[in-house]
Amino acid sequence: MSKIPQEVIDGILDRTDIVEVISGCIQLKKAGRNYKANCPFHNEKTPSFVVSPEKQIYHCFGCDAGGNAINFLMKYENIGFPEAVEVLAGRAGVQLPKYTKAAGQGPSLAARLYEVNKMAAAFYQNLLRGENGRNALGYLEKRGIDTDTMSEFRIGYALNRWEELRKYCERKKIPAALLRKAGLTIPSEKGKGDYDRFRNRITFPIFNERGHIVAFGGRVMDDSLPKYINSPETEVYSKSNVLYGLNFSRRGIRERGCAVLVEGYMDVIIPFQHGVTNVVAASGTALTERQVSMLKKYTDTAVMVFDADQAGEAASLRGLDTLIAGGMKVRIAALPEGEDPDSFVRKNGREKFEDIVRAARGLFDYKLDLLVEKLGVRDVGGIADEMLPTIRKVANAVVQSDHLKRLAERLGINETSLRQEMGKVRPDYSRRVAAPSEAVLNTRAYRSSEIHLLGLAISDKRMFDRIRGELGLDRFRDMNVKKVIDIVSALFGNGEKRINPGKLLSRFENDARARAAVVRAIAKADISRDPEKVLTDCVSCVLKENRDEDLKDLTLRLKEAKESGNEAEMMELMKKISEINKEKVA
């Protein structure tokens, strides 16, 4: 669906090294001709993720993820095809004409909003360092933020004036409408032009996962209210799909295997400055499904850090059900009363904070203890009312069943009746039916012999020619294999001598199954020691499978014809069946 011509994509892939791209995201180790790593897409202890510099593809033998550099970026960064191509074009120094832009004129609105936000962040950063920013700078220093952190998080200051940013942008010829769309200015009611949204506030740029600035939070430096104002929702910003700090912490989250969830900007910034590099903040304790799925790309474990007061409220734990429904393991860490991560780390340092995170307890136990303490163990109904909705959301049936059993034990009641009770709990969230995961797509039985042959055909033109001669391309019946073999045939037909699997994959941008077929086929061809024998075996195997399938189909039709008394049809079918049986013997 992209409008980027194939030649352009091929050109970018020619100038891209998949090893370089992937090693920028995860650590790769050389292993023979390939590189290995622990798969970033599933949890594992021994590496089954392989990157092939020759073929310019990656493949995980554990979860069956695989593809070229574009597919990797799309999956790893959670971005679309055009964006991934754009990233690679940038790396390769290829000027990408504006194919992807809807109206064909200039960069997309999103790209322009990123740009104007970036510019505004730099503008505020400058003001913070200037004469008029002294108070603000003093305030930040008092809060314990050092200058490196200020630049890394691009913290700035908006002057106590109405049109500072607007006028600056006028001089820079930035359209007023764009500033408004970015939420940086507000149209005045009297129609006298726009005024700045952020005034006399410390500015915290809010980044998306990939580090583009999508919005700002502005904080006052005294006790006036509101303490914070935020950008409105825009084309590129929605409160529900941003986790503050994720662009900085995603690496740390992956490496440490857990995300520490906190509440405010400072609760991310201060711990991060002290070396706690796996913190993110959601606005409010109730995470959205979108936020949970963003986190899940990096880890399946979340530690919520509460202060003792909040954690003492069962109500605040209710907000965590989204995490559980999303399949995350949730643990609760409680800070001493009155402390937040910001103040705690400043007073006690990183190690004490990490001790508390390590000591976090599972949500189930935590919540249950809390309820027992609050309601008394005899309030079976009250406790069950709070616990059952949480347990119901546990996606893993084994874990769910274990929770139920333990709850029944603790309350001294019958597990079966508890289970019945749970059945009555109304699910208060509507779960979107997710697209089948790549792993599911891949485990759908492909015809293994066809996959083997496809692998041979891709890897070697001679093999392709033999397959065409000895089997015939129209004998392939697997839809996905068929699609790929047609392209392979066209490429060889165009005079290609060798097929670059990475490029081949880029032909199936919107077709995960065809891509999976390519990756599997190549993996198969890779490990086959004796391609000649594989070819002969698989050709006869495909022929046999086709015959068996046809026989099954014809027999079924014969039965139908008998039932409806259609003699002519019966004769025809029996003739076909005997032909196939003759072939079989031959």
What residues make contact with Zn ion under the rule CB under 5 A?
Answer: 39, 41-42, 60, 62-63
State the burial class of residue 376 (Cβ atoms within 10 Å of its Cβ: 0-12, 13-18, 19+): exposed
Instruction: Enter the tokens of residue 543.
Output: 């022929």
Nearer to Zn ion (CB atom), residue 60 or residue 116: 60
Closer CB to Zn ion, residue 42 or residue 346?
42
The answer to whether residues 60 and 50 touch, using CB atoms and an 8 Å cutoff, is yes
Looking at the Cβ atoms of 35 and 237, the one nearer to Zn ion is: 35
CB of 521 to Zn ion, least distance (A): 18
Q: Which is nearer to Zn ion, 22 or 324 (CB)?
A: 22
Q: Which amino acid is at 58?
A: Y
- 526-531 long-range contacts (CB < 8 A, ≥24 apart) are 526/52, 526/455, 528/452, 528/455, 528/456, 531/456, 531/459, 531/460, 531/463
Query: Least separation, in Å, of the C-beta of 221 and Zn ion?
Result: 48
149 three-class SS: helix
CB of residue 512 vs Zn ion: minimum separation in angstroms? 15
The order of strands in the sheet holding 34-37 is 29-31, 34-37, 49-52, 57-60, 66-67
Closest CB 516 distance from Zn ion, rounded Å: 13
> The tokens of 435 are what?
């697209």
Tokens of 357: 């995170």
47 or 264, CB closer to Zn ion?
47
Burial label, 149 (beta-carbon count in 10 A; 0-12, 13-18, 19+): middle
Contact 309, 336 (CB under 8 A): no
Asked if the bond preceding 226 is cis, omega within 30° of 0, the reply is yes
Phi-psi region of 349 (alpha: psi -120 to 50; beta: other; left: phi over 0): left
Going by C-alpha positions, the residue among 486, 441, 443, 449 that lies closest to residue 468 is 486
Shortest distance, position 54 Cβ to Zn ion, whole Å: 21
Q: Is residue 332 within 8 Å of residue 361, measured between CB atoms?
A: yes
Of 63 and 518, nearer to Zn ion (C-beta) is: 63
| Beta carbon of residue 380, minimum distance to Zn ion (angstroms, whole number) | 44
Least Å from the CB of residue 327 to Zn ion = 16
Select from 322, 329, 284 the least CA-distant residue to 303.
329
Q: Which is nearer to Zn ion, 62 or 80 (CB)?
A: 62
> Three-class SS of residue 236?
coil
By beta-carbon proximity to Zn ion, the closer residue of 65 and 70 is 65
Residue 50 vs 165, nearer CB to Zn ion: 50
Closest contact distance (angstroms) between CB of 67 and Zn ion is: 12
- In the complex, least distance from residue 548 CB atom to Zn ion, rounded to whole angstroms: 33
Least distance to Zn ion from the beta carbon of 410, Å?
37
Three-state DSSP state, 487: helix
State which residue, 11 or 62, has the beta carbon closest to Zn ion: 62
Closest CA to 506 of 3, 2, 6, 1: 6
**In angstroms, rounded to a whole number, what is the distance separating the alpha carbons of residues 555 and 284?**
63
Determine contact, residues 422/414, Cβ cutoff 8 Å: no
Task: Return the number of the residue (64 or 340) whose C-beta is nearest Zn ion.
Answer: 64
Encoded amino acid at 387, one letter = M
Cα angle for residues 195, 197, 201 (degrees, 5° grid): 125
| Minimal distance, residue 282 CB to Zn ion, in Å | 27
SS3 of 401, please? helix
